[in-house]
Amino acid sequence: MARAAAVKAVSGEMSDASDRMGQILSESARLFATKGYDGTSMRDIAEACGISKSLLYHHFTDKDEIYARIALGSTQRLFEFVEERLPEGGTPPERVRAFMTATGDYFQRYRSNWIASTAAFWSDPELRRHKERMMWRDRYEGLIRRLIQDAINSGDFRPVDVPLTGRLVLSSLNWMHRWYRPEKGLTPAQIADSYYDLIFNGLKAE
């Protein structure tokens, strides 16, 4: 009984720590997205989380570590989020469209993380974290390239330069955060769907 209680207590502490770290990362992403990296202090983060600075430093060494963790976590979650939403029985073009609309949906749900991680992506001096972020980014980019190649192989898309087309797709999506305003017009997923139509169906009248 005593051992079971001890295990339960330890599990509870681990869960609390995980929840606290998640809160810190979420609030930090929101602050970085609205105030910028230089405009956000550890005190700002602690106050937003309702904790002391000493507890904040218990979880993270400094602001750079928080910033880097946001960039790494967002890159990994983006890939997983998009991959999970690809229709298994869909046609190759439907899967390309789903990739783009899922990316737009991710941006809408986790906009603060997207903005903060975009700014932080290349700035982390820690080599191991940088390599891991690049791995997830390459998996995400590799996924759209495979989907485009599948559509070419099926005869749905004409033969094109796959890496170049993949970069066109990602560039259209990655820059949305620079101009998108939630209160105006389409949702990010709807914008991504329109991008799909423009890129793969073109502007030329039938």
- Note down pLDDT in tens along the chain; length 206 residues: 545 444 343 344 444 567 888 888 888 888 887 787 788 888 999 999 999 988 988 888 888 888 877 777 788 889 999 999 999 999 999 999 999 999 999 999 888 878 777 765 555 556 566 677 888 899 999 999 999 999 999 999 999 999 999 999 999 998 888 888 887 788 999 999 999 999 999 887 76
Q: What is the pLDDT of residue 82?
A: 96
Residues 6+ away with beta carbon under 8 Å from 150: 92, 95
Residues 6+ away with beta carbon under 8 Å from 26: 112, 113
- Estimate to the nearest angstrom the gap between the alpha carbon of 15 and the chain centroid: 24
- The CA distance from 75 to 116, in Å, is 11
Q: What is the pLDDT of residue 185?
A: 82
Instruction: Give, in degrees to the nearest 5, the angle at Cα 179 between 178 and 182.
Output: 115
CATH assignment of 70-206, given 3.40.50.300, 3.40.50.720, 1.10.357.10, 1.20.1250.20?
A: 1.10.357.10
Other Cβ atoms less than 10 A from the Cβ of 179: the count is 7
Which ranges in the chain are annotated with CATH 1.10.10.60?
1-60
Which ranges in the chain are annotated with CATH 1.10.357.10?
70-206
How does DSSP classify residue 131?
Answer: H
Q: What is the pLDDT of residue 20?
A: 83
The sign of the CA dihedral 64, 105, 177, 48 is negative
Fold of 1-60: Arc Repressor Mutant, subunit A (1.10.10)
- The CA distance from 40 to 20, in Å, is 19
The sign of the CA dihedral 167, 140, 32, 192 is positive
Are 60 and 152 in contact, with CB atoms under 8 Å apart? no
